[in-house]
Amino acid sequence: MLTVHHLGVSQSDRIVWLCEELEIPYTLVRYDRDPVSRMAPPEYKALHPFGTAPVITDGDLVLGESGAIIEYIIGKYGDGRLTVKPDSPDYANYLFWFHFANASMMPSAMIDVIFTMLGVDDNSLGAALRVRGDRAFEMVEKRLGESPYFAGDAFTAADIIMLFPLTTMRVFAPRDLAPYPNIRAYLGRIGARPAFQRAVQKADPDLQPLLS
């Protein structure tokens, strides 16, 4: 049986949402963060050698990493739904944004998180590092002005993996979305999806999604 181990307010919300979009059976196990450190509790860290969210188990399998989990679930349980075929003109966009989320956008956001935790004011180095985050949001804004979803006209897994840095990540790295009307319109479309609404209620019912 597929089990999603969800750490509250974390990237594992992607996996809950994916399962709801695919409408597949799964078991959800929730873990609360330590109230002082805001880190994962020991029992969550013990699930996987790297000790971070997300994690799924499926029989004897223990799998981490958002991208790997999404591809595994879609391949094994989703009949390839929410992906883009190689012969589609949207294939390259699908691949780019699916990988951009964790390979480029999340690391740029983590810079803001670390600076905030350390209480570091902007200096020349900090400003240079934060440029990457600004550039990422500018790229996203441009893309969402060209098409309603990251891969094109259709909602795909690229949207599922890209949403976290636009929403929940802002709990840890605040960013004003006022300069990004296309992103705000996109978040409105996502927020209206029934599967997204179900996932929010199951994964983080006490968290107001940052959709604006």
Tens place of pLDDT per residue across the chain (212 aa):
999 999 999 999 999 999 999 999 999 999 988 777 778 888 999 999 888 999 999 999 999 999 999 999 999 999 999 999 999 999 999 999 999 999 999 988 877 766 666 666 555 556 666 788 889 999 999 999 999 999 999 999 999 999 999 999 998 888 999 999 999 999 999 999 999 999 999 999 998 999 98
Q: Are 90 and 83 in contact (CB under 8 A)?
A: no
Cα 133 vs. chain centroid, distance in angstroms?
A: 16
pLDDT of residue 27: 98
| 33 Cβ contact partners less than 8 Å away, ≥ 6 residues apart | 7, 8, 9, 39, 40, 41
Cis, peptide link before residue 41, omega less than 30° from 0: no
pLDDT of residue 86: 97
Top CATH class of 2-82+197-203 equals alpha beta
Token readout for 95 is: 């691949």
Q: What are the b/e assignments for 48-82, b being 16+ CB within 10 Å?
A: beeebbbbbbbeeeeebbbeebbebbbeebbeeeb
Residue 6: beta bridge partners?
30
In the chain, residues under CATH classification 1.20.1050.10 are 91-193
Its CATH architecture, for the domain 91-193, is Up-down Bundle (1.20)
| Torsion (CA) 123, 125, 127, 128 in degrees, nearest 10 | 160
Give the pTM. Answer: 0.92
In the chain, residues under CATH classification 3.40.30.10 are 2-82+197-203
**Which DSSP string corresponds to 7-72?**
ESSSTTHHHHHHHHHHT---EEEEEPPPTTT-SPPHHHHTTSTT--S-EEEETTEEEE-HHHHHHH
Spatial separation of the C-alpha atoms in residues 160 and 14, rounded to whole Å: 6
Q: Is 189 exposed, middle or buried (0-12, 13-18, 19+ CB in 10 A)?
A: middle
In Å, how far are 155, 156, 183 from 7, measured between CA atoms?
A: 25, 23, 26
Spatial separation of the C-alpha atoms in residues 191 and 197, rounded to whole Å: 7
